């Protein structure tokens, strides 16, 4: 660890492990030992980062820090008074809808936002306003009440705080409201009917002004999954917020409405506009009373006494800004690529309206902190982003977004709805009322504001629709739109409701009430002695469980894959089972106990002597298919009856695992015993051992699917004791096969599943310890990546024969057979170009192969005829746009992996797609940090680190140096830094998906810069030597040459 951080240096609190020698070397590094060039480079980089970060932090937070009120554990960071302005823009929805249809829509909208908000925020700052929050295209602005007569710059008081000579001082509060009023009037004069240049769309503002006591809170402090920095949200609350919630809707476009409290303070300073017949106590602002006050004088006096710049964050406070800025945005600021954060993308949005929480009450701040932390936990558990928490004209509002980098998933609509259902329980627990709206669509995602003050936000039609659905939702109710219902997985059921009319829409909008899919109460052996596998009803194999007949679908997958005799996975399984794959065992009408040809498992196999088999592999590689074959074979041939317990892919599913274990054990008891009730609760009451009867109330709740039952250590311990006791009683009557599975699904970060995974291994360890002692019980563990530190995994790895099965992609021969099986055609009927294409794109993943073939058939590039032949349309493989298949696990998952990278890693990957053959680090540096462009070795080192991470994660591969005579050669194999490393992107899938994110002009630029860099490095040294040699020879101009000759003897 570095002994002393440089000023403003961002120190990673969760560094990777280093060896002892490296750690010792780092421990001796101090600031005084660093070269001045290193210090200057770090300070320059951090200064640039700080400049960008300050635009995301309002002045009041910085002031709170210098007053000692910004400790992360402190909730109330500021109490004060002043004017509060809520400025809402009209026209952005129409603008976003029009630009969303254009290829460069994000760029054009970003330009419009900057052109509009830059003068707006400049005016706000000029009148000492502090932009606290962006609510989409609306702003909440605080004009603090400050006594400028006590300011050091006030001096003899030549210029009064209000700027007009000869008039008495209005006092701090009235002066603050006067400045707010003058600011609003000037904003209307300069920005009313602002021309966007897009199809005659114009922007205008309607504004509400209030005043009084305000409180600013910071709440949250929960760590998101993609970073180690806790995320804190700040909000402003108080009576002025209630005032502007009434005032702002009363103002039409181009108008400003003052609350009664604000009007009383400035009624003698301004001219009133048209009367408001419905609310005579509220007043419209027409203009300043210019006989007393003018814009220039008010603005001049305001700026004269404005000392906020003296209390801004410096380099020492750079780390503090990270708490208040989304981690993805901060990384873009660090890399100097903030302009690339603006984009149009498909996202799922949750709007939440909350009531029942009085922030200004004595216990209000603590309640707000509890609510925010609970909302953050649920949001982050589903890998979403909490974009906003604020109090505005709609009350207490939350804005959650699913699909923002780096948290992008193919199943974001499902994640959003599942998170909403959990949040309903949060509001119930806290005795609050919440209304929820969920929508999915294409929206602008990027920064909104100017270089001086901005926020990352989302704008668009579906964002607005989410807010409309929220207002129409019943208390503690959830409404979703049609797009969300279409793109969600089978975990959810959507009940159509009567369409509703909403603001901004001509036609009525179809709405839906989401419901969780009713869980199948039968797990394991059913009453017909057929096996009901848990993956028939849960997303455990990467599918969407939308199939009408999941049983037939899953059995077909088993037959397609396990019938490949040369597949390494089935070969190992056959060795452990002592027999080949038998297709007859997997027919739909097979029942346990009906087979007459029973056999015994090999004596040295875990299925013969007891033990554990572990199958690891990424989603889609065949874990489920192989497990179903093993379980079916053991049940039919060895009379080993199955017990199931699965977790994932959603967070907090520990209870489901326990419930499945209980239900499947009861099912075994019911099939081998007599008079066991068909109701699981009654059955368990009859079967539970006497010493565990006290646990029945908890177990009854578990089996009754009570959502309130928490997976506490006490609940898990009580349930596991009963499970092990029941297994002990069953072992004397029959063999058992306990199947335990953990599925990570589309979650991107280990932190998301860490707690669930720890619980899984705890349960697995306790069960495996029991299994290892009992020869009649075997275990089967399914997981993406087995933890080699777990004793049960070590035992499986050391067993003879080895009981740890690691699945990888199919080879080309297996791919051909699998394609033929899936298409139900002979292998020779598979077109060779199709075989090569599928092999290159899918990397041998069976799930990807199925998706690719389905897409080709759906898009009519591939025709499979009833006579067993298959034909590709002419030129089909040249016209396929794989990147458009983002709804598939293959492409969608690849996109998500790329989006989850850091900005510099993403840039390196995108540049890598531009090279067909091997490339080097200097090739990439030529476009991002060229030595000819003034970059330093530190910039090159950051790029080197990024390429190493890409190599480690399998995006690119290190390859041999190409032949020097080929045009791909990047020059000499050695440089002054040592041997040159060559890389290549060999995955056709990653290349295709990554290349779709790069514009053609950018591709040409990357190649051109790399070629120029290679030429310069090859030819420039020699030419410089020639030039130096030429300069070393004394040169005599020709017109002196004759004179010199005459002078010489």
For residue 178, is pLDDT > 50? yes
Confidence of residue 465 (pLDDT cuts 50, 70, 90): very high
For residue 735, is pLDDT > 70? yes
Report the distance separating Cα 204 and Cα 202, nearest Å: 7
CA 446 to chain centre: 15
Report pLDDT for 15: 42
- How would you label 376-398 residue by residue, b for 16+ Cβ within 10 Å and e otherwise? bebbbbbbbbbbbbbbbbebbbb
3-state secondary structure of 134: strand
The whole-model pTM stands at 0.88
H-run or E-run covering 318 = helix 318-321
SS3 content of the chain, % helix, strand, coil (to 5): 45, 20, 35
Confidence of residue 7 (pLDDT cuts 50, 70, 90): very low
For residue 494, is pLDDT > 60? yes
Who wins on pLDDT, 147 or 23? 147
**Any bridge partners for residue 212, and if so which?**
82
Report pLDDT for 10: 36
* Least confident window among 60-64, 82-86, 556-560, 928-932: 928-932
Question: Rounded to the nearest 5 degrees, what angle is found at the Cα of 143, between the Cα atoms of 139 and 145?
Answer: 160
For residue 454, is pLDDT > 60? yes
Cα-based torsion angle of the residue sequence 472, 476, 482, 487 in order, rounded to the nearest 10 degrees: 160
Number of CB atoms found within 10 A of residue 845's CB? 27
Report the distance separating Cα 503 and Cα 517, nearest Å: 32
**Any bridge partners for residue 492, and if so which?**
516
Confidence of residue 967 (pLDDT cuts 50, 70, 90): very low
Report pLDDT for 33: 67
Report pLDDT for 420: 96
Who wins on pLDDT, 258 or 356? 258
DSSP codes, 271-323: EE-S--SS-TTSEEEEEE-TTT--HHHHHHHHHHT--GGGGS--GGGHHHHGG
Confidence of residue 24 (pLDDT cuts 50, 70, 90): low
Q: pLDDT, tens digit, for every residue of 575-621?
A: 999 989 988 888 877 888 766 567 888 888 999 888 999 999 998 99
Report the distance separating Cα 541 and Cα 223, nearest Å: 29
Percent of the chain whose pLDDT exceeds 70: 92
Who wins on pLDDT, 400 or 364? 400
Confidence of residue 706 (pLDDT cuts 50, 70, 90): low
Report pLDDT for 786: 93
Report the distance separating Cα 129 and Cα 84, nearest Å: 9
Report pLDDT for 9: 33
Report the distance separating Cα 203 and Cα 193, nearest Å: 5
For residue 926, is pLDDT > 90? no
855 half-sphere exposure, CB direction, 13 A CA radius: 24
Max CA pair span of the chain: 133
Report pLDDT for 234: 92
* 153-157: long-range pairs with CB below 8 Å, 24+: 153/304, 153/305, 153/307, 154/305
Report pLDDT for 482: 94
The DSSP bridge pattern shows strands 640-647 and 735-742 to be parallel
Sign of CA dihedral 797, 800, 803, 806: positive
Confidence of residue 29 (pLDDT cuts 50, 70, 90): low
Confidence of residue 13 (pLDDT cuts 50, 70, 90): very low
**Mean pLDDT in the chain?**
86
Report pLDDT for 232: 93
Question: What letter would DSSP give residue 494?
Answer: E
H-run or E-run covering 297 = helix 295-304
Q: pLDDT, tens digit, for every residue of 1003-1045?
A: 888 889 888 888 887 777 777 777 788 778 777 776 677 776 7
Report the distance separating Cα 478 and Cα 165, nearest Å: 58
For residue 991, is pLDDT > 50? yes
What are the tokens at 726? 């029941």
In sequence order, the 6+-apart residues with CB closer than 8 A to the CB of 512 are 479, 480, 481, 482, 484, 485, 494, 495, 496, 497
Report pLDDT for 978: 60
* Least confident window among 419-423, 547-551, 828-832: 547-551
Confidence of residue 3 (pLDDT cuts 50, 70, 90): very low
Report the distance separating Cα 805 and Cα 783, nearest Å: 11
Report pLDDT for 1031: 79
Report pLDDT for 27: 53
Mean pLDDT value across residues 66-75: 91
For residue 143, is pLDDT > 60? yes
Report pLDDT for 764: 94
CB 970 within 8 A of CB 1014: yes
* Least confident window among 11-25, 362-376, 860-874, 925-939: 11-25
Can you tell me which residue has the tokens 């990357």?
1006
Report pLDDT for 8: 32
Question: Rounded to the nearest 5 degrees, what angle is found at the Cα of 319, between the Cα atoms of 234 and 349?
Answer: 45
What are the tokens at 1032? 């070393």
Report the distance separating Cα 301 and Cα 83, nearest Å: 17
Report the distance separating Cα 527 and Cα 380, nearest Å: 41
What are the tokens at 946? 């990024």
Report pLDDT for 11: 38
Who wins on pLDDT, 413 or 520? 413
- How would you label 172-181 residue by residue, b for 16+ Cβ within 10 Å and e otherwise? bbbbbbbbbb
* Least confident window among 275-284, 496-505, 925-934: 925-934
Report the distance separating Cα 245 and Cα 184, nearest Å: 17
Q: pLDDT, tens digit, for every residue of 788-822?
A: 999 999 999 998 888 999 999 999 999 999 999 99
Report pLDDT for 20: 53
Mean pLDDT value across residues 722-751: 90
In sequence order, the 6+-apart residues with CB closer than 8 A to the CB of 484 are 348, 413, 416, 417, 438, 439, 440, 494, 512, 514
**Any bridge partners for residue 220, and if so which?**
232
Report pLDDT for 595: 62
Report the distance separating Cα 501 and Cα 316, nearest Å: 53
Report pLDDT for 974: 53
Q: How far apart are the first and last CA of the chain?
A: 76
Question: What letter would DSSP give residue 223?
Answer: P
Who wins on pLDDT, 241 or 934? 241
CB 742 within 8 A of CB 780: no
Mean pLDDT value across residues 847-864: 91
What are the tokens at 458? 């989302």
- For the chain, helix (H) and strand (E) counts, in that order, are 36, 31
H-run or E-run covering 982 = strand 982-984
CB 336 within 8 A of CB 445: no
For residue 205, is pLDDT > 80? yes
């Amino acid at each position: 660890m570095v002994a002393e951080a440089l000023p403003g240096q961002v120190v990673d609190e969760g560094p990777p492990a280093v060896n002892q020698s490296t750690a010792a070397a780092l421990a001796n590094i101090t600031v005084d030992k660093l070269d001045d060039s290193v210090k200057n480079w770090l300070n320059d980089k951090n200064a640039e980062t700080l400049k960008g970060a300050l635009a995301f932090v309002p002045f009041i937070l910085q002031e709170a820090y210098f007053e000692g009120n910004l400790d992360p554990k402190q909730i109330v960071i500021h109490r004060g008074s002043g004017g509060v302005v809520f400025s809402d823009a009209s026209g952005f929805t129409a603008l976003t809808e029009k630009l969303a249809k254009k290829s460069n829509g994000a760029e054009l909208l970003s330009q419009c936002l900057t052109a509009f908000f830059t003068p707006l925020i400049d005016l706000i700052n000029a009148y000492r306003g502090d932009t606290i929050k962006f609510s989409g295209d609306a702003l909440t602005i605080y004009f603090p009440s400050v006594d400028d007569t006590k300011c050091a710059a006030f001096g003899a008081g030549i210029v009064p705080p209000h700027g007009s000579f000869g008039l008495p001082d209005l006092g701090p509060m009235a002066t603050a409201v006067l400045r707010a009023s003058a600011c609003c009037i000037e904003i209307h004069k300069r920005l009313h009917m602002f021309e966007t240049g897009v199809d005659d769309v114009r922007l205008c503002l309607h504004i509400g002004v209030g005043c009084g006591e305000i409180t600013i809170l910071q709440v949250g402090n929960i760590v998101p999954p993609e970073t180690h920095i806790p995320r804190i949200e700040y909000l402003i609350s108080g009576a002025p917020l209630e005032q502007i919630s009434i005032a702002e809707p009363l103002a039409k476009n181009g108008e400003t409405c003052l609350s009664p409290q604000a009007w009383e303070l400035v009624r003698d300073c301004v001219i009133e506009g048209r009367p408001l017949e419905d609310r005579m106590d509220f007043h419209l602002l027409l203009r300043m009373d210019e006989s007393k006050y003018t814009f220039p004088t008010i603005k001049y006096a305001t700026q004269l006494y404005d000392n906020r710049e003296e209390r801004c964050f410096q380099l020492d406070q750079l780390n503090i800004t990270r708490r208040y800025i989304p981690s993805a945005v901060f990384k873009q600021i660090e890399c100097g690529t903030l302009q690339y954060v603006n984009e149009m993308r498909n996202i799922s949005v949750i709007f939440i309206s909350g009531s029942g929480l009085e922030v200004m009450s004595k216990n209000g701040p603590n309640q707000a902190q509890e609510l925010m932390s609970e909302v953050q936990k649920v949001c982050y558990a589903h890998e979403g982003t909490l974009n906003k928490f604020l109090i505005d004209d709609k009350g207490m509002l939350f804005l959650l977004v699913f699909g923002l980098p780096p948290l992008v998933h193919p199943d974001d609509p499902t994640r959003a709805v599942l998170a909403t259902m959990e949040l309903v329980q949060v509001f119930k627990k806290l005795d609050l009322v919440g209304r929820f709206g969920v929508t999915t669509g294409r929206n602008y995602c990027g920064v909104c504001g100017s270089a001086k003050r901005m926020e990352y936000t989302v704008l668009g039609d579906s964002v607005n629709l989410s807010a409309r659905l929220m207002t129409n939702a019943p208390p503690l109710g959830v409404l979703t739109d049609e797009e969300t219902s279409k793109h969600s997985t089978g975990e959810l059921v959507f009940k159509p409701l009567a369409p509703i009319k909403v603001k901004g829409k001509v036609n009525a909008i179809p709405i839906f009430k989401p419901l969780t899919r009713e869980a199948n109460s039968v797990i394991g052996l059913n009453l017909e002695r057929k096996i009901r596998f848990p993956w028939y009803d849960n997303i455990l194999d990467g599918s969407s469980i939308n199939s009408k007949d999941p049983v037939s679908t899953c059995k077909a997958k088993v037959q397609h894959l396990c019938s490949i005799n040369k597949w390494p996975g089935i070969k190992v399984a056959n060795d452990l089972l002592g027999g080949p794959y038998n297709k007859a065992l997997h027919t739909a009408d097979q029942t346990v106990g009906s087979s007459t040809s029973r056999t015994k498992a090999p004596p040295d196999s875990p299925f013969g002597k007891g033990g554990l088999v572990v199958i690891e592999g990424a989603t889609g590689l065949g874990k489920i298919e192989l497990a179903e074959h093993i379980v079916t074979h053991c049940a039919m041939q060895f009379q080993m009856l199955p017990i199931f317990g699965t977790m994932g892919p959603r967070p907090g599913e520990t209870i489901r695992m326990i419930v499945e274990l209980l239900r499947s054990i009861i099912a075994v008891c019911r099939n081998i015993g007599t008079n066991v009730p068909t109701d699981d609760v009654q059955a368990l009451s009859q079967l539970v051992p006497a010493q565990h009867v006290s646990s029945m109330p908890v177990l009854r709740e578990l089996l009754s699917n009570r959502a309130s039952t928490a997976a506490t250590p006490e609940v898990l311990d009580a349930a596991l004791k009963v499970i092990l006791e029941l297994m002990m009683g069953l072992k004397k009557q029959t063999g058992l096969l306990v199947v335990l599975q953990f599925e990570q699904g589309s979650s991107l970060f280990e932190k998301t599943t860490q707690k669930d995974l720890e619980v899984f291994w705890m349960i697995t360890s306790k069960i495996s310890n029991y299994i290892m002692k009992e020869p009649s019980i075997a275990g089967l563990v399914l997981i993406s990546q087995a933890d080699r530190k777990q004793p049960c995994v070590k035992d499986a790895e050391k067993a003879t024969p080895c009981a740890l099965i690691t699945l990888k992609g199919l080879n080309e021969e297996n791919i051909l057979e699998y394609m033929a099986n899936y298409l139900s055609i002979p292998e020779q009927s598979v077109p060779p170009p199709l075989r090569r294409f599928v092999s290159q794109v899918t990397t041998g993943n069976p799930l990807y192969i199925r998706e690719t073939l389905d897409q080709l058939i759906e898009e009519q590039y591939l025709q499979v005829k009833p006579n067993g032949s298959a034909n590709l349309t002419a030129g089909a493989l040249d016209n396929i746009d794989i990147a458009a298949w983002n709804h598939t696990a293959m492409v969608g998952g690849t996109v998500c992996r790329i989006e989850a990278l850091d900005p510099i890693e993403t840039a390196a990957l995108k540049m890598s797609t531009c090279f067909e053959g091997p490339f080097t680090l200097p090739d990439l540096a030529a476009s991002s940090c060229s030595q000819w462009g003034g970059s330093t070795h530190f910039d090159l080192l950051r790029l080197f680190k990024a390429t190493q991470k890409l190599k480690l994660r399998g995006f690119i591969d290190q390859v041999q140096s190409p032949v020097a005579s080929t045009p791909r050669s990047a020059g000499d194999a050695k440089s002054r830094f040592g041997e040159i490393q060559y890389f290549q992107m060999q995955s056709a899938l990653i290349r295709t998906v990554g290349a779709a994110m790069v514009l053609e002009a950018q591709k040409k630029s990357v190649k051109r810069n790399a070629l120029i860099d290679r030429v310069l490095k090859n030819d420039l040294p020699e030419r410089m030597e020639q030039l130096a040699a030429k300069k070393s020879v004394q040169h005599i101009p020709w017109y002196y040459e004759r004179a010199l000759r005459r002078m010489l003897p």
